[in-house]
């Protein structure tokens, strides 16, 4: 079996549900490390997409990671997309970012499961704080590191999650262009 790198590594995904002002809210969060290799130039494409925004959309911990959060209230109403903790305004200026996220999530959703790579160094030193940016995954889930890491690094769930974010992004763009 040949394993090919695909321009991404260390992907994780989680759905968080809660309440905000008596409304049900849902966050679908996808976190992935971007690389440039012979099978994809995802890191370069990301930097190009955010080039005109300064450093606003860079990941606050590591600039080769992207953290995509689709937030919604009341069953996908009032959707908002966040990139590395920053809300992405639905404006023409930010269309390259939406396009990049659409392309990346589609790529992840169609990747063969054997192409999902997680580095030991990432799992040991960064994974607990990478997915949720402002809080530790182990504290949010209430489980020790090995148990919670297994939950969020399952290729099947990551693929489904990327597909869901892609669908929600497409719905947002249909509304934007309407």
- pLDDT digits (tens), the chain, 178 positions: 445 556 799 999 999 998 878 888 999 999 999 999 887 899 999 999 999 998 899 999 999 999 999 999 877 677 899 999 999 999 999 999 999 999 999 999 999 999 999 999 999 999 999 999 989 999 998 888 888 898 899 999 999 999 999 999 999 999 998 8
Are 65 and 33 within 8 A, CB to CB? Answer: yes
Q: How far apart are CA 85 and CA 60, in angstroms?
A: 8
Task: Name which of 39, 37, 43, 42 is nearest 63 in CA terms.
Answer: 43
Tokens standing for residue 96: 């390259």
């Amino acid at each position: 079996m040949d394993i090919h790198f695909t321009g991404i590594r260390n992907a994780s995904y989680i759905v968080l549900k809660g309440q905000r002002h008596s409304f049900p809210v849902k966050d679908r969060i996808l976190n992935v490390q971007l690389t440039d290799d012979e099978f994809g130039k995802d890191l370069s494409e990301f930097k190009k997409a955010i080039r005109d925004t300064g450093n606003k959309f860079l990941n606050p911990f590591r600039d080769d990671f992207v953290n995509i959060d689709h937030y919604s209230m009341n069953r996908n109403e009032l959707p908002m997309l966040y990139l590395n903790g920053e809300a992405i305004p639905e404006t023409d200026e930010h269309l390259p970012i939406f396009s990049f996220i659409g392309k990346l999530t589609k790529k992840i959703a169609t990747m063969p499961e054997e192409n999902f790579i997680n580095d030991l160094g990432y799992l040991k030193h960064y994974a607990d704080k990478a997915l949720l940016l402002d809080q530790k995954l182990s504290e949010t889930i209430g489980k020790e590191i090995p148990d919670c890491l297994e939950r969020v690094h399952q290729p099947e769930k990551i693929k489904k999650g990327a597909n869901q974010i892609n669908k929600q992004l497409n719905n947002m763009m249909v509304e934007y262009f309407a």
